[in-house]
């Protein structure tokens, strides 16, 4: 509101909240740091889990950063920006979501120290930008090249990703499943591998133990045969894929037909029957003995298919049809009349099996399938869901290494190396920007510090020891938190993809820079939900009812 010759001028509507300058920065930094603190305890092999309960009472138990932040109901805009960091990291690299958010939070904490020394945000932003660019160069320098054929390295990458998650007790099994699945669907283009992880289908079924999880070199469809007289098991399967309904088509236009005698009605029904029989005859004539249909199958058509001994499944999802085509080499046909023997796919075995009391169709023994299925078993739904998240991360990190061919030592070794090198870089740069670069370097130590903290180690002592060893023994020295000592991460096989670390630094620095550049927050009045809190109340701006006493 402003005064104009004694008259008040209302600019912003009533109920709008506005934070300007240092206040806006302080509140945004606080909100972002609280988000980082929330997920920080989940980092590393000894990280803890979070139990998230939504408004409907559904429970999720996880230590996956992206899942935690996705499930929390947040109100503060700066907090939502931190969620975007996790989502970007998950989409681009598949792992390292917690790392990215923790680094972003620490960069902001260090920036606040500089703001308290009256250093202008623009200088901090410039220093952070320079440090982030330099960090990318340093990471590329210290990266170690691996070949996609190096199965042992791929296994170690997957196991490092799974360590610390609920699937850890069976990490070798899941690492093997992830590596085998990615290598199976990888396609070579211009001498480089490309992996489309949509071709790896994950099916979950409660029951049995986690050890019963398996990789099916083909596709598992959560459906059953349409007719009980159809064979349950077909060996040497010739598979037809049709995406139209095996039903009598209705006319496009609205038509009314008057039938005046029973004979006419009979001939109508006979004609329908004949049309359906012709459809089935055409399918049988191609030699197909297994049929997957994207739409419905008429009862009468089911009867004829059963007579021919064809195993048929209806209402198969479009995505599953595409996977079946990739796995078996079949072509999806729109019109039954166009189906020929060349369009059929092949599999050694198509079988209906009972899994946890439900029927599923297994298409196995495909020659060189470019689509595979991982069937996850486990005692409870919560266990299976967490195993799935761990497996997805493992699949994505193996994909990163297959595509890029570079890895880094994990266990905080990469961050310590960056911190040491960026400190040297700051001395070359000089000026006030050097302070920002030094603080950036210091902020990266939060990762080894958190790893030690979550393992119950003395963080100060551990950090001093590991940095000293790192300088003396080389850039692969990180924290072995099982032994509680500095160790050579490469020798221990604790490695991560270069892409994960590069993306984490990139996402974290960009988010921190964006939040630092904000000096004015204008929040419109938010109507109060029933029993909830509206607007951006008191100081921090309301965190969706989260208890933030940290």
DSSP element (H, E) containing 179: helix 171-185
Question: Are 353 and 359 within 8 A, CB to CB?
Answer: yes
User: Any idea what DSSP says for residue 317?
Assistant: -
Q: How far apart are CA 291 and CA 500, in angstroms?
A: 42
What pairing do the DSSP bridges indicate for beta strands 345-355 and 233-242? antiparallel
In DSSP terms, 204 is beta-bridged to 376
Catalytic residue among 62, 97, 328, 373: 97
Residue whose C-alpha is closest to residue 215's, from 149, 161, 158: 158
Tell me which residue of 438, 150, 443, 201 sits closest to 325, measured CA to CA: 201
What distance in Å separates the CA atoms of residue 343 and residue 329, rounded to the nearest whole number? 8
Residue 180 among the catalytic residues: no
- Is 253 part of the annotated catalytic residue set? no
Greatest CA separation for the chain: 100
Distance (Å, whole) CA 420 – CA 492 = 22
Phi and psi torsions of 410, nearest 5°: -100, -150
Phi/psi at 218 (5° precision): 165, -150
**Beta-carbon count within 10 A of 404 CB:** 18
Determine which one of 41, 67, 88, 98 is catalytic: 98
Catalytic site includes residue 400 = no
Alpha carbons within 13 angstroms on the beta-carbon side of residue 33 total 19
> Are 407 and 176 in contact, with CB atoms under 8 Å apart?
no
- CA-based angle 410:412:417, to the nearest 5? 100
List the one residue out of 501, 500, 399, 498 whose CA is nearest residue 144: 498
- Which one of 64, 298, 320, 404 is the catalytic residue? 64
CA angle 133, 162, 57 (to 5 degrees): 100
Q: Is the dihedral of CA 187, 193, 196, 201 positive or negative?
A: positive
Q: Let me know how long the chain is.
A: 550
Q: What's the rounded Cα separation, in Å, for the pair 226 and 378?
A: 28
The secondary structure element, H or E, covering residue 189 is strand 187-189
Q: Is 393 a catalytic residue?
A: yes
3-state class (DSSP) for residue 311: strand
Name the active-site residue from 393, 400, 404, 480: 393
User: Catalytic residue positions?
Assistant: 64, 97-98, 393
């Amino acid at each position: 509101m402003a005064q104009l010759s004694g008259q008040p001028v209302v600019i912003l509507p009533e109920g709008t909240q506005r934070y300007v300058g240092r206040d806006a920065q302080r509140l945004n930094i606080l909100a972002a740091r609280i988000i980082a603190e929330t997920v920080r305890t989940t980092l590393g092999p000894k990280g803890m889990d979070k139990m998230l309960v939504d408004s409907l009472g559904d429970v999720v138990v996880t230590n996956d950063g992206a899942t935690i932040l996705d499930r929390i109901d947040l109100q503060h805009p700066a907090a939502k920006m931190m969620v975007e960091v996790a989502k970007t990291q998950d989409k681009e690299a598949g792992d390292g979501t917690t790392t990215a958010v923790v680094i972003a939070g620490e960069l902001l904490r260090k920036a606040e120290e500089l703001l308290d020394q009256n250093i202008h945000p623009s200088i901090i932003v410039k220093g952070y930008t320079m440090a982030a660019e330099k960090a990318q160069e340093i990471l590329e320098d210290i990266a170690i090249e691996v070949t996609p054929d190096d199965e042992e390295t791929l296994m170690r990458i997957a196991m490092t990703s799974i360590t610390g998650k609920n699937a850890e007790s069976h990490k070798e099994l899941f690492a093997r499943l992830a590596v085998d699945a990615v290598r199976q669907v990888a396609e070579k283009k211009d001498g480089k591998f490309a992996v489309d992880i949509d071709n790896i289908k994950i099916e979950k079924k409660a029951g049995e133990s986690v050890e019963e999880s398996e990789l099916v070199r083909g596709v598992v469809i959560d459906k059953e045969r349409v007719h009980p007289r159809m064979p349950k098991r077909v060996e040497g399967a010739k598979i037809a894929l049709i995406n139209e309904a095996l039903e009598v088509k209705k006319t496009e236009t609205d038509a009314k037909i008057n039938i005046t005698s029973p004979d006419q009605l009979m001939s109508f029904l006979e004609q329908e029957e004949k049309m359906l029989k012709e459809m089935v005859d055409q399918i049988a004539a191609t030699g197909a003995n297994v049929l997957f249909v994207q739409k419905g199958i008429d009862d009468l058509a089911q009867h004829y298919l059963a007579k021919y001994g064809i195993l048929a499944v209806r209402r198969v999802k479009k995505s599953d049809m595409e996977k079946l085509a990739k796995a078996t080499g079949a072509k999806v046909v729109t019109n039954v009349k166009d189906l020929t023997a060349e369009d059929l796919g092949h599999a050694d075995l198509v079988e209906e099996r009972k899994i946890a009391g439900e029927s599923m169709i297994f298409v196995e023994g495909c020659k060189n399938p470019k689509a595979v299925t991982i069937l996850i078993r486990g005692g409870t739904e919560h266990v299976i869901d967490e195993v799935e998240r761990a497996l997805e991360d493992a699949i994505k990190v193996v994909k990163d290494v297959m595509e890029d061919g570079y890895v880094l030592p994990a266990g905080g070794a990469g961050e310590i190396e960056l911190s040491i090198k960026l400190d040297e870089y700051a001395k070359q740069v000089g000026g006030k920007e050097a302070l920002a670069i030094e603080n950036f370097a210091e902020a990266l130590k939060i990762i080894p510090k958190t790893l030690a903290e979550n393992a119950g180690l003395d963080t100060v002592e551990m950090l001093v020891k590991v940095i000293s060893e790192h300088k003396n023994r080389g850039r692969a020295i990180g924290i072995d938190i099982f032994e509680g000592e500095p160790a050579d991460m490469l020798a221990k096989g604790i490695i991560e993809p270069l892409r994960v670390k590069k993306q984490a630094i990139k996402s974290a620095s960009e988010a921190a820079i964006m939040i630092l550049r904000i000096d004015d927050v204008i929040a419109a009045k938010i109507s109060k939900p029933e029993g909830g809190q509206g607007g951006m109340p008191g100081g921090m701006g309301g965190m969706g009812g989260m208890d933030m006493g940290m």
